[in-house]
Amino acid sequence: MTSAPHSPFRLESLYACALRLYPRAFREAYCVAMRQTFRDAVHDSTLSRRAFIPLVLRDLITSLAKEHLAMLRDTFARPALIFNALVLAGFATILALALYAIPQQLLRRGADDPQVEMADNLTWQLEQGVAPTDAVPAGTVDLAHSLSPFLIAYDDQGNSLASQARLNGQTPTLPQSLLEDVRQRGQDRITWRPGEAIRFAAVIQRVNGAHPGFVLAGRSLREEGARQKAVRQMAAIAWAAMLALILVGSVAFGWYTRPKTA
């Protein structure tokens, strides 16, 4: 004879199956008492089944979530496990920053070639008395579009004497503070931004002799910027992969070394 869907035996069997969803330690400590309490409630003729079953379901859902969260906390929120994961994440972050910073610096320093040689050669010619218009090669470089290297010769006040570079039809000027710095140091290698959204690797060198002044050799950083972006993306991918590996390893280690009562 088949028992009715809401018979005491059927309800107790379903409740017993639901109790298996609790963590093992909780089941061993409380499940016998919980089954007995449920059995008593089922056989209580004064308790309405219509109100009793929803109450039990709500209690199961709430307590299951609470106990499993507690189990996860006891398993993975151990100070030693968290400390090790944070240390490894710190090492991963430092390594990812190094993977970005070192190539980025090498790319930026390499962007000063061949400007160093160009500035040195032009300075030597001017100090030998060659006229700026003869020393600076002919031709025009549009700074807004061209990737070609260029040369500019300035007098001691920063006025252009001869130039290959044009930006909006004019030769870009240099700030006096930069010229003063070059006067003291003899040479400066900078990232030059003469206009919006354009950058150049520029070498500025002091010209001594009878006609003192300055020379500037520059080249667009557009391609170097694209390479730096690629390096940044690869470093970010490596960082994310290392963090994911640390997370998976920490979870696995925490699970296999969890307390026996969990």
| Residue-wise DSSP of 209-254 | SSS-EEEEEEEE-HHHHHHHHHHHHHHHHHHHHHHHHHHHHHHHHH
Residues 194, 174: Cα–Cα separation, whole Å:
8
- Please give the residue that has the higher pLDDT: either 261 or 119: 119
Cα 164 from Cα 99, distance rounded (Å): 37
Cα dihedral 15→18→19→21 (10° resolution): 180
Note every long-range contact of 1-4, with CB atoms under 8 Å and residues 24 or more positions apart, other chains counting.
none
The residue whose two tokens read 């004879």 is 1
For the chain, the distance separating the N- and C-terminal CA atoms, rounded to the nearest angstrom, is: 41
Task: Give the C-alpha separation, 69 to 169, whole Å.
Answer: 69
What sections of the chain are H helices per DSSP? 8-19, 24-42, 49-76, 79-110, 115-127, 132-135, 176-185, 222-256
% of the chain at pLDDT higher than 90: 56
Q: Encode pLDDT of 47-95 as tens digits.
A: 777 777 888 888 888 888 887 777 767 777 778 888 888 999 999 999 9
Tokens, residue 70? 């507690």
In the predicted structure, residue 103 carries a pLDDT above the cut 70: yes
Spatial separation of the C-alpha atoms in residues 147 and 226, rounded to whole Å: 13
Determine the pLDDT at residue 150.
97
Report whether pLDDT(178) > 80: yes
Higher pLDDT residue, 180 or 34?
180
H or E stretch including 156? Answer: none
Closest CA to 118 of 150, 160, 164, 161: 150
Average pLDDT, the chain: 88
Measure Cα distances from 243 to 3, 190, 223, 237 in Å: 55, 36, 30, 10
Res 140 pLDDT > 80: yes
Q: What is the pLDDT of residue 97?
A: 95
Where residue 259 falls among pLDDT bands split at 50, 70, 90?
low
Q: Residue range 124-136: average pLDDT?
A: 96
Residue type, 13: S
Structure confidence at residue 6 (pLDDT): 57
